[in-house]
């Protein structure tokens, strides 16, 4: 068969048909199997246990791709809470059904729809990406299913004031705004800002610039590399040329590792101190960043070094259960599970959406992050800690050097 | 070596001449029962697969007959989706209008991209369609006031019909089913028309067709534009179904997915790409609920296809059919 | 820093990036041009080179030894892939090659996620080149200068190999007219296999060399693949000269574009490719007879 031939069926002579036939059978069996598992998966849930149905909670998080570590941390945080409860709340067993969202909003929405339609979940929680969250909010508003967001920081997620939407992480604004004022208070006036060019990057940078301007600071210049950029040399050269007093950045995951490493390698860390949003230097990135992270100061609502009894117990339990250190993401997951679990206790296992929403509004937290309550949009009111990455106990940890108390998102 | 088109020309029994159409109509009848017997989850699954199969069909037409291997087909899908989504949220969710706007805009885009890219052939054509489509992708990210940027366009309603009917899950499924069958019939008619014969001729030997006096470029452009418009239609349905459009829908990886659907389904046929869409959906979405290694399994299945099922699902079906007849 | 010094720094960064692309593209261009085989797993072998590098630098403690071992392993893996998967595909349709090599790329990506996790892995520079150097007031990590140097060296070596040796003239003849070479009695299978394995080994080499700059993570494979395809197509299939100029063109426009037109950073390379192909539909240096 030459190159130019049309690729069409119908070339089968006897021998190749024979060779192909078992494969055809195999393929039909495979497709049948896939159809079976693909469509029939929901049926399995009903059989277990006597008495009442389990409470089905849908978890939509990235379990593959760049943010898989975040998804795993949040899930483990949730599991920690539910296992403390013996996987049972108000006499009903709890079943967590996980679906992978990758980093793609379409996949995320499909995952949420599958959970709602196939598994008939009563509560949905998760989403690392804000784009996924926005898509899912449309779905759950139609079906009136409470949605507890355990990571996505898009400002509008809660500012829209949708009654079924709760959040146990923070808004982008909340994480970044306080640092603007804090820098000016500490004598840093002229700041260069950079963040990846996508919604969360723009929002985080926007919050910081707002805080900086409100305190009378000065924005030297700003740069927005594409999301998923791997070589930052150009941007670093520009920063170096502008010679600001400090650099403030927001990057997450892979981008955060690349940026922080290259920042240190370019020799900039000594001449232009690096500050940023806390997600830039977190448990998922520190290993890759190594020594390059040391000395960077970031703002976030949690730090592993926080000294309070809830945090001490949390870290100890998490370590004994999962054999590794918890991250901020694990705290977000733990608090999301707490919110769901305590509300279910209050409703005595009733999953009626409106009853659940009312119960969630009344939940009191005992969070490893310190004081935590929800505002009228169901977004947390919480402390923002200024943390410095330091090498101690043979590893790099975020140490709290200052606290900005009870930061609340300004709302719509 | 006998091509399908040639075997179509030979006088054969009614069944073998119209095998594809019969299969599609039978499949459509079977699917029409789904909402009556299956749960709403099944309805959603098949709606999704059908929309993707329209998308794959439009690319399959390009790849199978005039032999245009494009890696930018998602641009038309995405532009159709954005057009329908923006029109439905800002102006009117009337299905005739949203689909019409989507068709018109993706047709226009296909015209522009086609004019620019059809000077290149082979891998160069593949890469220039990729480049132009990626430019549209970046535009969809950056034009935030219109598209919602990287967060995507959300809140797209299911369409309605002149105030007579507001589509719900089930009626929307039937709409998609109808459009899938119509798309198939459209391409089938095209392929069997004199126009289609010329396209097939261009696909197998462009020089010869030029020598006979045809102008391959205008024929290829027409085919490209029709395929682009139908891809835009599938994008519009996708927007209504999912309620969200994001730049990811225009990304080259979405084009690559369509390309793979066509090859795995069987390029050179029309029914193959539609079945390919179902296979890829099963491998990518359904399998994922059950194993972390779904990507690896998908890769292995592709390699097995290349070695043991040279002409994709359509090839398997055909050889099975020939075996049954003997 | 003055404006001129900043520009010079950008140019050096662009050159380093360009030469890294050249190492990748040289192999793919030959595979394309000579064998007319579409290989979508080229980026995957870059990924393997990077991941092996990260692990081996840690285990062996010697950067140079790790480099040699990584490239060796990638070459062996490439040989296995060539014999078992690609050799039967040389005479098949492009579509079959696309599906096959795409399947292979998916398997490699998922396997690397399985073995190395999903977070980005980093490698430190070799100790010799871990400092920044200052040349006429331009500060640049010395490692990037090394990448430029290695790229130049490779370009020279490949030029000599192709233009001055017997095997080179056979390969060049193969790019122009495969049937002829085969008819002249050369063992085309062995030559194809050799070119293919060398191309993949170069991809693995680039993966190792590039990792201290870019890091390595699952997902980078397809980014690298698209970049390499762009370079190869802009340069013209099968043309080493074309690959060199296209690498430098893409590398420099990418970096300078980022620096001076930051809002267009993500579309610059696609714009360059579209413009080149509009003006020259067969790339800059098409060598094959149409």
In chain A, the domains with their CATH numbers are 55-170+308-378 (3.40.50.2300), 173-300+386-407 (3.40.50.2300)
The structural domains of chain B, with segments of one domain joined by +, span 17-274
Nearest beta carbon to residue B127 from set C88, C107, C229: C229
* A17 Cβ contact list (under 8 Å, min separation 6): B319, B322, B323
Highest mean pLDDT among A43-47, A373-377, B41-45, C257-261: A373-377
Rg, Å, chain C Cα set: 19
pLDDT of residue B271: 87
Q: Which residue has the tokens 């929309």?
A: B51
pLDDT of residue C117: 80
- In the predicted structure, residue A379 carries a pLDDT above the cut 50: yes
**CB-based contact B230:B54 (threshold 8 Å):** yes
pLDDT of residue B237: 95
| C-alpha atoms less than 13 angstroms from C-alpha of A66 in its C-beta half-sphere | 19
Confidence band (pLDDT; 50, 70, 90) for A41?
Answer: very low
Three-state DSSP class for residue A56: strand
What mean pLDDT is predicted for residues A107-121?
A: 89
Nearest beta carbon to residue A234 from set C10, C93, C144: C10
pLDDT of residue A25: 56
**CB-based contact A93:A55 (threshold 8 Å):** yes
Q: Return the CATH number of the domain spanning residue range C3-279.
A: 1.10.3470
Three-state DSSP class for residue B31: helix
Give the span between the Cα atoms of C238 and B195, in whole angstroms: 36
- In the predicted structure, residue B13 carries a pLDDT above the cut 70: no
- In the predicted structure, residue A15 carries a pLDDT above the cut 70: no
Interface residue A15 vs chain B (CB under 8 A): no
Give the span between the Cα atoms of A388 and A13, in whole angstroms: 72
pLDDT of residue A35: 58
> A106: closest CA among A147, A74, A78, A138?
A138
Nearest beta carbon to residue C274 from set B69, B132, B298: B132
Judge: C132–A225 Cβ closer than 8 Å, yes or no: no
Three-state DSSP class for residue A334: helix
Give the span between the Cα atoms of B37 and B33, in whole angstroms: 6
Interface residue A265 vs chain C (CB under 8 A): yes
- CB neighbours of residue C24 within 10 Å: 30
Judge: C94–B306 Cβ closer than 8 Å, yes or no: no
Q: Return the CATH number of the domain spanning residue range B17-274.
A: 1.10.3470
Nearest beta carbon to residue C277 from set B127, B134, B253: B127
What mean pLDDT is predicted for residues B179-185?
A: 92
pLDDT of residue A191: 95
pLDDT in tens, C37-88: 888 999 999 999 999 999 998 888 888 999 999 999 999 999 999 888 888 8
pLDDT of residue B326: 67
| C-alpha atoms less than 13 angstroms from C-alpha of A106 in its C-beta half-sphere | 18
Best mutation target, B118, B263, B265, to test chain C (most C CBs within 10 A): B263
Q: Which residues of B touch C274 (CB under 8 A)?
A: 116, 128, 131-132, 135
- In the predicted structure, residue B325 carries a pLDDT above the cut 50: yes
Judge: C283–B124 Cβ closer than 8 Å, yes or no: yes
pTM: 0.85
Task: State which H helix or E strand residue A249 sits in.
Answer: strand A246-249
Q: Would you say how long chain B is, in residues?
A: 326
Give the span between the Cα atoms of A136 and A118, in whole angstroms: 16
Which chain C residue shows the shortest CA-CA distance from A231? C214
Best mutation target, B134, B150, B291, B308, to test chain C (most C CBs within 10 A): B134
Give the span between the Cα atoms of C224 and C220, in whole angstroms: 6
ipTM greater than 0.85: yes
Interface residue C263 vs chain B (CB under 8 A): yes
pLDDT of residue A305: 83
**CB-based contact B73:B110 (threshold 8 Å):** no
- The residue among C183 and A273 whose pLDDT is bigger is A273
Give the span between the Cα atoms of B313 and B279, in whole angstroms: 9
pLDDT of residue B16: 66
Give the span between the Cα atoms of B117 and B317, in whole angstroms: 35
What mean pLDDT is predicted for residues B65-79?
A: 93
**Distance in Å, alpha carbon of A156 to nearest chain B alpha carbon:** 11
Confidence band (pLDDT; 50, 70, 90) for A340?
Answer: very high
Nearest beta carbon to residue C237 from set B116, B123, B293: B123
Confidence band (pLDDT; 50, 70, 90) for A328?
Answer: very high
Confidence band (pLDDT; 50, 70, 90) for B9?
Answer: very low
- In the predicted structure, residue A48 carries a pLDDT above the cut 70: no
- When the pLDDT of each residue in chain C is averaged and rounded to a whole number, the result is 86
Interface residue C274 vs chain B (CB under 8 A): yes
* C279 Cβ contact list (under 8 Å, min separation 6): none
Structure tokens, A387: 């943390």
**Distance in Å, alpha carbon of C272 to nearest chain B alpha carbon:** 9
Interface residue C129 vs chain B (CB under 8 A): no
Q: Per-residue b/e over A297-312, b at no fewer than 16 CB within 10 Å?
A: bbbbbbbbbbeeebbe
Q: Which residues of A touch B154 (CB under 8 A)?
A: 134-135, 137-138
Which chain A residue shows the shortest CA-CA distance from B206? A4
Best mutation target, C258, C261, C264, C270, to test chain A (most A CBs within 10 A): C258
pLDDT of residue B83: 94
Which chain A residue shows the shortest CA-CA distance from B309? A20
The structural domains of chain C, with segments of one domain joined by +, span 3-279
Range name among A5-19, A296-310, C141-155, C162-176 with the lowest pLDDT average? A5-19
**CB-based contact A195:A224 (threshold 8 Å):** yes
Interface residue A42 vs chain B (CB under 8 A): yes
Q: Would you say how long chain A is, in residues?
A: 412
> What proportion of chain A, given as a percentage, has pLDDT over 70?
87
* A265 Cβ contact list (under 8 Å, min separation 6): A292, C125, C132, C141
**CB-based contact C31:C239 (threshold 8 Å):** no
What mean pLDDT is predicted for residues C185-192?
A: 78
pLDDT in tens, A150-194: 999 999 888 888 899 999 999 999 999 999 999 999 999 999 999
Give the span between the Cα atoms of C114 and B293, in whole angstroms: 8
Structure tokens, A167: 């959040």
Q: Which residues of A touch B203 (CB under 8 A)?
A: 6
Give the span between the Cα atoms of B224 and B209, in whole angstroms: 18
pLDDT of residue C290: 33
- The residue among B24 and A375 whose pLDDT is bigger is A375
Judge: B310–C274 Cβ closer than 8 Å, yes or no: no
């Amino acid at each position: 068969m030459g190159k130019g031939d049309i690729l069409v069926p119908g070339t089968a002579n006897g021998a190749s048909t024979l060779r192909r036939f078992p494969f055809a059978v195999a393929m039909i069996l495979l497709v049948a199997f896939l159809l079976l598992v693909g469509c029939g998966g929901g049926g399995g849930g009903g059989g277990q246990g006597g008495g009442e149905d389990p409470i089905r909670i849908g978890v939509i998080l990235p379990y593959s791709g760049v943010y898989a570590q975040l998804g795993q941390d949040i899930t483990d945080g949730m599991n920690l809470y539910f296992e403390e409860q013996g996987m049972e709340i108000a006499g009903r067993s709890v079943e967590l059904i996980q679906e992978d969202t990758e980093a793609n909003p379409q996949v995320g929405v499909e995952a949420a729809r599958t959970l709602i339609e196939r598994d008939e979940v009563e509560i949905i929680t998760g989403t690392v990406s804000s784009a996924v969250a926005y898509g899912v909010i449309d779905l759950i508003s139609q079906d009136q299913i409470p949605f507890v967001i355990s990571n996505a920081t898009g400002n509008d997620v809660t500012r829209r004031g949708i009654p079924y939407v709760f959040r146990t992480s923070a808004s982008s604004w909340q994480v970044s705004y306080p640092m603007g004022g804090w820098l000016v208070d500490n004598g840093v006036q002229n700041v260069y800002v950079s963040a990846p060019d996508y919604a969360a990057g723009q929002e985080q940078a926007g919050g910081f610039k707002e805080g900086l301007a409100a305190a009378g600071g000065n924005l030297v210049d700003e740069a927005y590399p594409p999301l998923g950029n791997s070589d930052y040399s150009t941007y670093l050269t520009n920063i170096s040329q502008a010679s600001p007093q400090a650099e403030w950045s927001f990057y997450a995951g892979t981008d955060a590792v690349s940026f922080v490493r290259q920042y240190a390698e370019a020799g900039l860390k000594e001449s232009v101190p690096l500050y940023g949003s806390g997600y830039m230097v977190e448990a998922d990135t520190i290993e890759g960043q190594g020594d390059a992270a040391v000395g960077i100061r970031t703002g976030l609502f949690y730090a592993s070094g926080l000294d309070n009894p809830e945090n001490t117990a949390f870290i100890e339990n998490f370590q004994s259960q999962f054999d590794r250190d918890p991250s901020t993401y694990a705290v977000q997951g733990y608090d999301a599970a707490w919110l769901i679990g305590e509300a279910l206790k209050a409703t005595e296992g009733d999953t009626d959406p409106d009853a659940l929403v009312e119960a969630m509004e009344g939940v009191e937290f005992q969070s490893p992050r310190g004081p935590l309550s929800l505002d009228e949009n169901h977004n947390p009111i919480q402390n923002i800690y200024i943390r410095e990455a330091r090498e101690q106990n043979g590893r790099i940890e975020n140490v709290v050097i200052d606290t900005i108390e009870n930061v609340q998102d300004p709302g719509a | 070596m006998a091509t399908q088109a040639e075997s179509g020309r030979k006088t054969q029994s009614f069944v073998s001449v119209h095998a594809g159409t019969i299969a599609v109509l039978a499949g459509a009848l079977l699917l029409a029962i789904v909402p009556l017997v299956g749960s709403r989850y099944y309805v959603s699954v098949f709606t999704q697969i059908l929309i993707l199969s329209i998308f794959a069909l439009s690319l399959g037409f390009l790849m199978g007959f005039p032999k245009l291997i494009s890696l930018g087909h998602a641009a038309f899908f995405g532009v159709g989706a954005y057009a329908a989504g923006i029109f439905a949220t800002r102006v009117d969710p009337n299905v005739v209008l949203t689909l019409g706007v989507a068709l018109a805009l993706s047709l226009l885009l296909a015209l522009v991209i086609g004019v620019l890219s059809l000077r290149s052939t082979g891998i160069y054509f593949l890469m220039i369609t990729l480049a132009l489509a990626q430019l549209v992708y970046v535009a969809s990210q950056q034009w935030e006031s219109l598209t919602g940027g990287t967060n995507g366009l959300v809140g797209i309603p299911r369409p309605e019909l002149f105030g007579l009917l507001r589509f719900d899950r089930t009626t929307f499924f039937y709409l998609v089913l109808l459009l899938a069958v119509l798309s198939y019939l459209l391409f089938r008619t095209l392929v069997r028309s004199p126009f289609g014969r010329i396209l097939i001729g261009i696909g197998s030997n462009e020089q010869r067709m030029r020598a006979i006096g045809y102008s391959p470029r205008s024929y290829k452009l027409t085919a490209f534009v029709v395929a682009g418009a139908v891809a835009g239609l599938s994008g519009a349905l996708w927007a209504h179904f999912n309620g969200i459009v994001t730049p990811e829908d225009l990304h080259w990886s979405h084009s690559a997915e369509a390309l793979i659907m066509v090859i795995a389904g069987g390029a050179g046929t029309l029914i193959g790409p539609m079945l390919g869409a179902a296979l890829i959906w099963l491998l990518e979405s359904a399998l994922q609920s059950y194993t972390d290694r779904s990507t690896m399994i998908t890769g292995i299945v592709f390699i097995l296809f290349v070695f043991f099922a040279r002409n994709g699902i359509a090839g398997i079906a055909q050889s099975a059919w020939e075996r049954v007849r003997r | 820093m003055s404006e001129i010094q900043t520009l010079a720094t950008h140019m050096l960064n662009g050159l380093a990036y360009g030469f890294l692309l050249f190492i990748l593209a040289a192999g793919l261009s030959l595979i394309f041009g000579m064998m007319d085989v579409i290989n979508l797993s080229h980026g995957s072998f870059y990924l393997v080179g990077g991941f092996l590098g990260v692990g081996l630098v840690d285990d062996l403690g010697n950067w140079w030894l790790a480099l040699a071992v990584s490239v060796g392993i990638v070459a062996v893996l490439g040989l296995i892939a060539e014999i078992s998967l690609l050799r039967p595909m040389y005479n098949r349709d492009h579509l079959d090659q696309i599906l096959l090599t795409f399947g292979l790329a998916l398997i490699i990506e998922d396997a690397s996620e399985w073995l190395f996790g999903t977070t980005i892995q980093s490698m430190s520079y070799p100790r010799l080149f871990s400092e920044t150097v200052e040349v006429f007031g331009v500060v640049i990590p010395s490692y990037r200068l090394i990448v430029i140097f290695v790229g130049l060296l490779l370009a020279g070596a490949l030029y000599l190999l192709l233009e001055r040796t017997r095997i080179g003239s056979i390969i060049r003849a193969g790019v122009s007219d495969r049937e002829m070479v085969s008819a002249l009695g050369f063992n085309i299978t062995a030559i194809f296999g050799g070119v293919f394995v060398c191309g993949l080994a170069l991809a693995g080499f680039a993966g190792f060399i590039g990792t201290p700059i870019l890091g390595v993570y699952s997902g980078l494979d397809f980014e690298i693949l698209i970049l390499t395809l762009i370079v190869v197509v802009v340069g013209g299939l099968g043309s080493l000269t074309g690959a060199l100029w296209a690498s430098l063109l893409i590398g420099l426009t990418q970096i300078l574009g980022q620096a001076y037109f930051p809002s267009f950073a993500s579309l610059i390379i696609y714009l360059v490719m579209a413009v080149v192909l509009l003006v020259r539909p067969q790339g800059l240096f098409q060598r094959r007879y149409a």
